[in-house]
Amino acid sequence: MLEVVKDFQAAVAAQVARCRPDAAEFDRQALSGGLTDLQHRWHDLKTALLEAAGRRALPLGCVNGALDGLRGGLRMTEQLTKAAARLDQLMPRQAAQAAEH
C-alpha cells in the first residue's frame, strides 16, 4: 500500500517539475500527458485505499485523512499545470512585445 502512495507522490513531484514554461526543455505535450498520468494514478490510489478500508486493512478514519491530503496535492498540481500552460501561451507575446520596445 505504501508503494502506491509513494508512486503518486513521485508523480506529483515530476509534474510540478514540468511546470516551468521558462525552461528550455518545457514541453506542453509532456505537461498534458503528465497530468493525465497523474490523474490516472490518483484514481488507482483512491481505489486501493478504499478497497483496503473495505477489507479493514486500514482504518477508515486514516484513509479519509490520507485521501483528503493526497487530493489536495492533486488539485494543487492541476492548478499549477493550468497556470504553466497559460504562461506558455502568454510568454511568446511578452517576448515579442519587449523586442518591439
CATH code, domain carrying 74 = 1.10.132
CA 18 to CA 45: how far, in whole Å?
22
Tell me which amino acid residue 96 is.
Answer: A
Report pLDDT for 2: 83
- On the 0-12 / 13-18 / 19+ scale of CB atoms within 10 A, 84 is buried
- Domain extent for 44: 2-100
Report pLDDT for 96: 46
Report pLDDT for 47: 96
pTM: predicted TM-score of the whole model, two decimal places: 0.84
Report pLDDT for 100: 55
Per-run averaged pLDDT (10 residues), the chain, 101 residues: 91 97 93 97 96 94 94 98 95 56 55
Q: What's the number of domains the chain is made of? A: 1
Report pLDDT for 41: 96
